Structure 1
Amino acid sequence: MTVDLRARAAAHDALLLRRLELVVPLVLDRAGLDAWVLVAREYAEDPVVATMLPATWLATARRRTVLVFVRRADGSGVDRFAVARYPVGEAFPHVWDPAAEPDQWTCLARILAERDPRTIGVDRSATFPLADGLTASEHDAFLTALPDRMRRRVVSAEQAAVGWLETRLPEEADALAAACARAHGYLARALSAEVVTPGVTTTSDVEWWLRQTVHDDGLGSWFHPACSVQRADDAPSGPVPAGGETVIRPGDLVHVDFGIVDAGLCTDQQQHAYVLRPGETQAPAGLQAGIAAANRLQDLLMARFSVGMTGNDLLSATLGAARTEGIDGLVYSHPIGVHGHAAGPTIGLWDNQGRVDGQGEHPLHPATAYSVELQARVAVPEWGGRGVAFMLEEDAFFDGRECRFLDGRQTRLHLIG
C-alpha cells in the first residue's frame, strides 16, 4: 500500500487546526483554566505537545518549544501562540524574537503578565502519565520566571490534557472505524489457512506474520501481537503464554491480541479461531457458546455507558449485571485513540475488578473511543467441562448517547481447516 506522505501531512495539519479551534476551548472550560502552558524539550516531549505539532516536525520538539493558550479577556475565544526558537506552523503564531529578548522564559513570563490569567494550567499529574509531560527542570524554570503573584496561580492541567487526548472529532471517529476495518482484515487472514498450517505453524509465526504484513503495507504497530492457544487436554490453568514457539494443532482454540497504527490512530482487537479436527466442519457447540457469553458481556458493558459515569461505576454496574445473568466475567476496558492505552477512564483491570484509584474515577465524556476488552469464562462440555477463557476486544465510540462498535465485532469463531 503506497502512502502519499505529502497528502497525509496536509490532512494532519488541517485536522490539527480544527482540533485546536474546537477541542481546546471545550477542555479549558472543563478544566476551569484561563491559560494552558505546554513546555517540551527535544527528545523529552510532553505527550500532549507531540500531538499538537505540525506533521513535518514528526512529533519532536525543537530545542525548547512552548505552546500557550490564553482566554481572551472579553470571553470571545482562546488565543494560541508559540514561544519557540523556530516557527511552529500556521496553527501557532510565533511571538518570540530572540534578538530583541534573548531569554525565552522572560518572554513567556512577560506575555502571561500582560494577559493576567487567573489560572494557569501545566501538564503535571500524579494520576495520568499522559498528562504529566512537564519535566521537573522545566517546571522549576517556569515557576522561577513568573512573578510571585502569578506563581500561585499555576495548577495542574490534568483535565485539559486528558480531554484533549480523549476527544475525537467526527472525522477522527470515521478514520478510526476505517483503521478497525483494516485491522479486522489482517486478523481474518492471520486466523485462516492462509497463515496457519496445523501441525506446522507456531504461535510466534502468527505474531511475526502480522507484524511483517502490517509493516509491508506502510502501517505501524504499537505493540507486538500476541498469539496463544487453549486445548482440551491442557491443565485448566489458562492459555499457553504468548511469545513462545507453541505449534498450533487441530482442536486448538487460537487467540490473537493485535493492534495497528493507521494515520496516527491506534486499534486494539482480540479474536479467536478454532482449528478443525479431521472430519469436523464446525467448532464444538461449547466453544461457540463461550463466544456468545463474551458477546453478552460486551452488551452489558456498552449498554451502561452514560455521560458523567466514572470508570469504576461502569465496572461495578456491569459486573453486577453479569452476575445476575450467571456470566463469569472480567472487564478491563480502556480508552483508545492517538495512544493505544489512551488517556481517559479506566474500566477495570484484569488483575483488579474492584475500585481503580485515580484513573478509574475519571468520568465518561461524549466523543470518546474505547477498547471494549473483557473475557467470559465458560465450562465447555466437549472439553470435559473445563473452564475456557473467551477473551474479546473490539473498538467502540461513545457519542454521549450510545456506545457502538466502530467496525462490528466477532460473533462466530474463525475456522481453520
Structure 2
Amino acid sequence: MNQGKLAFACVTLAALCAPPAMAGDTGLSAVAISDTELANPALPAILPLKERAEVVDRILAERLDTVIPAIMREQGVDMWLLMSREYFEEPVLATMLDAQSFHARRRTILIFFDPGDGQPIERLTVSRYGLADLFEPSWAPEEEPDQWKAVADIIAARDPQKIAINYSDATRFGDGMTLSQYRAMTEALPQQYENRIVSGEALSVRWLESRTQTELDLYPGIVRIAHALIAEAFSRKVITPGKTTTGEVRWWYREKLASLGIAPWFHPSVAVQREGTKGIIYDDTVIQPGDLLWTDFGLTYLRLNTDTQHLAYVLKPGETLAPEGLREGLRRTNRVGDILTASFRAGDSGNTILARAREAALSEGLDPSIYSHPIGFHGHGAGPAIGFWDNQSPDPRGSGAVNAGTTWSIEFTNYYEVPEWGGQRVDFRSEEDAWFDGETARYLDGRQTELTLIPSD
C-alpha cells in the first residue's frame, strides 16, 4: 500500500472506530446506524438556522483537515486549484464555502498545496474577501491588482510538480474549470508550469464521495427525518382514500419541508399501481382502496442528501392486511437488496458489482432491475453508478471504483406477478441510503420490510 492510500485508509478507519465527534448537540446523533427501520418514527428535532450553520462549518473544517491531505497524497498531486465566479460555483468549490457564504464572491480562487514530508497542507484563498477562517488570505489587490498574476506568483514560489485543475470528460463533478478562466490562468502562468497541469477529476470525486466521522454520526438521523415524513405522508393524517390525490400528497411534502426550513433536492413523486391497470399511474389521480402507493422522496439537511422510495397499500373495507401477493412482492424485492449489498467489494467497479448482483438474483428466479448511486453532497452523488433503470449492461458511468468510506442510495426494483391481481406484473421499487465501510454495506436507518397500511375506513 502506498503512502497516499495508507493515509486515506486511516481516515476510513477513523470513521469506523472513532467515538462520535461533534454530533451530540444536534439531536441526530441519538439515531444510530441500524438494519431495522421503525414503522412510524418520530421526527427528530430540527436545528435552528444558526446552529445548523455551526454544524456545517465544523464538518467543513474537519473535512479540510482530514480528507484533503488524504486524497491529495493518494492521487500524488501536490497542488489543487479551484476557481468559481459569483453565481456560477463549480460543484466542488460550492461544498467548500462556509455556511454564511451562499455564493463565491466576485471570483473566488482556492489553492491547496502539499509541501511534502508530512507537513500540513496549505489552504490559500486568492480572492478579495477571504473565506471565513478556513483558508489563508493570499492576495493583496492594492499590491498586485491582477488576480491571475497573484495566482501565478503563488505557483512559482511553491514550484509544484502536479497542478490539478477541474476538467473532465467523464464526470460533471470534476469539470468546473471554464474555458475563460483556463485561458486567463495559463496566460499569466510561466510556460514550464503549463506542462504540469493535470485533471482534478479524481480529486473531485474523492472529495465529494468521502464521508467523515461527524457526517456518519449525523447521517442516520437525517435519513430518519425522511422516514418520519414519508410515514406521515402515507397515513390518514394526509390521505383520505377516495378523496386525496397523488398530486396533493406531493405538494404536502413540499409544504411540510418548507415549514421545517428544509429543502427538497427534487420534487417528490407519488404514484399508484392498481389492479387491472397496466403499469404505474404517474398522473394526478385520486387514491382508492386497494391501491399500491409508491413514493420517491429526497431532502437536503446539513448539506447531506437523502433518497428514499417506499410502498404503501390502501386497505379495502374489512381488510386488515395487504394481499399476500403484494407482501410476497416486497419480500422478493428485499431479497434483491440483500444480494445487492452483499455484492459490494471495495475497489470493484460499479459495473462489476452490477453484474455480480444480477447474476445472483437471476439465478434465484428473481426479476430485478438495479440502478444504485452514490449520495452525499448531491443526491445523485459523485462516484460510479451501479446500473441504470434503462441500462442493465456495463456503462462508462459505472466504470469507476467503489471505494470504502462512501454513502450510497441502494436503489432497485423487482417485478412480481401478483396472483390476487390476476397475475398482473407489479413493480416493487425500493430505495434506502447506506454506508459502505469497505467490508459491508449497511443501511443508515434500516429499510422497509413491510408494506405501510393506510386504512380506508
What is the CA-CA distance between 1:78 and the residue it aligns to? 1.5
Q: Say if 2:380 is the partner of 1:336.
A: no
1:181-330 mapped onto 2 (5 Å cutoff): 181-235=224-278, 238-241=279-282, 244-330=283-369
Q: Find the aligned partners of 1:355 and 1:391 in 2 and give their Cα distance.
A: 22
Q: Secondary structure, in 3 states, of the residue corresponding to 1:171?
A: helix
Counterpart for residue 160 of structure 1: 203
Selected match of 2:404 from 353, 366, 378: 366
**Which residue is 1:410 aligned to?**
448
The DSSP-based 3-state class of the residue aligned with 2:407 is strand
Alpha-carbon separation, structure 2, partners of 1:12 and 1:286: 45
* DSSP 3-state at the match of 2:58: helix
Give 5+ residue unaligned stretches, structure 2. 1-44
- Give SS of 1:98's match: coil
Q: Is the 8 A contact 1:30 1:159 kept in 2?
A: no
Task: Report the CA distance between 1:142 and its aligned residue.
Answer: 1.2
* Distance in 1 separating the partners of 2:54 and 2:313: 44
Alpha-carbon contact 2:55-2:302 (below 8 Å) kept: no
Cα RMSD (Å) of the superposition?
1.1
- 2:27 aligns with none
* Percent of aligned pairs sharing the same letter: 45
- The one-character-per-residue Cα deviations of 1:317-337 (angstroms, maximum 9, x if unpaired) are 000001111110000000111
Give per-residue Cα distances to partners, 1:188-212, cap 9 Å, x unaligned: 1111111111111111011111111
Give how far 1:7 is off.
Answer: 2.3
Structure 1 CA distance for aligned equivalents of residues 310 and 401 of structure 2: 28
1:38 corresponds, among 64, 82, 85, to 82
- Find the counterpart in structure 2 of residue 85 from structure 1: 128
The secondary structure found in structure 1 opposite 2:266 is coil
Query: For structure 1, which segment, 211-220 or 388-397, has the greater mean C-alpha deviation from structure 2 after superposition?
Result: 211-220
* Structure 1 residue 383 displacement after superposition: 0.4
Q: Is the 8 A contact 1:31 1:157 kept in 2?
A: no
The residue that corresponds to 2:391 in the other structure is 352
**Secondary structure at the residue paired with 1:150?**
helix
Mark the CA change 1:63 to 1:340 in structure 2 (over 3 Å): closer, same or farther.
same
Letter in 1 for 2:451: L
Aligned to 1:398: 436
Which residue does the alignment assign to 1:177?
A: 220
State the secondary structure of the residue aligned to 1:139: helix
1:301-351 CA-to-partner distances (Å, cap 9, x unmatched) read: 101111101100010100000111111000000011111111011110000
SS at match of 2:126: strand
Give the conservation status (yes or no) of the 8 Å contact 1:309–1:364: yes
Structure 2 Cα separation of the partners of residues 122 and 133 of structure 1 = 8
Matched residues in 1 for 2:434 and 2:223: separation? 10
Deviations 1:223-256 (A, max 9, x none): 0100111111113xx2112xx3211111100000
- The one-letter amino acid of 1:375's match is T
Paired residues of 2:276 and 2:424 also in contact (CA < 8 A)? no
Q: Distance in 1 between matches of 2:188 and 2:373?
A: 38
- The aligned runs of 1:88-127 (5 Å cut-off) are 88-127=131-170
State the one-letter code of the partner of 2:413.
Q
Q: Is the 8 A contact 2:271 2:295 kept in 1?
A: yes
| Matched position secondary structure for 1:49 | helix
Q: CA offset at residue 12 of structure 1?
A: 1.7
Counterpart AA for 2:232: R
Name the aligned partner's letter for residue 371 of structure 1. Answer: S
Q: Tell me the amino acid that sits aligned with residue 433 of structure 2.
A: D
Match of 1:19 in 2: 63
| CA distance in structure 2 between the aligned counterparts of 1:32 and 1:239, rounded to whole angstroms | 49
CA drift of 1:75 comes to 3.9
Cα distance in 1 for partners of 2:426, 2:418 equals 7
User: How many Å apart are 1:29 and its aligned residue?
Assistant: 2.1
Partner of 1:131: 174
Residue equivalent to 2:54 = 10
* Aligned amino acid, residue 5 of structure 1: L
Q: Which runs of 4+ in 1 moved over 3 A?
A: none
Shift of 1:168: 0.6
Could you tell me which amino acid in structure 1 is paired with residue 74 of structure 2?
R
Kindly provide the amino acid, as one letter, of the partner of residue 115 in structure 1.
Answer: R
Partner of 2:32: none
The answer to whether the Cα contact below 8 Å between 1:3 and 1:218 also exists between their aligned partners in 2 is no
Q: Structure 2 counterpart of 1:31, which letter?
A: Q
Q: Secondary structure at the match of 1:57?
A: coil
CA contact (8 A) 1:395 1:405 kept: yes
Q: 1:51 aligns with which of 73, 95, 106?
A: 95
Structure 1, gaps ≥5 residues long: none
Q: What does residue range 54-73 of structure 1 map to in structure 2 within 5 Å?
A: 54-58=98-102, 60-73=103-116
Q: Secondary structure at the match of 1:246?
A: coil
Per-residue deviation, 1:2: 6.3
Aligned length: 411
**3-state DSSP of counterpart to 2:134:** coil
Structure 1: how far apart are the matches of 2:310 and 2:79? 44
Asked whether the 8 Å contact 2:222–2:301 carries over to 1, the reply is yes
SS at structure 2 position matched to 1:295: helix
State whether residues 379 and 387 of structure 1, in contact with CA within 8 Å, keep that contact through their aligned partners in structure 2: yes
TM-score (norm 2): 0.88
Cα deviation, residue 128, structure 1: 1.1
Equivalents in 2 of 1:266, 1:150: separation in Å?
A: 38
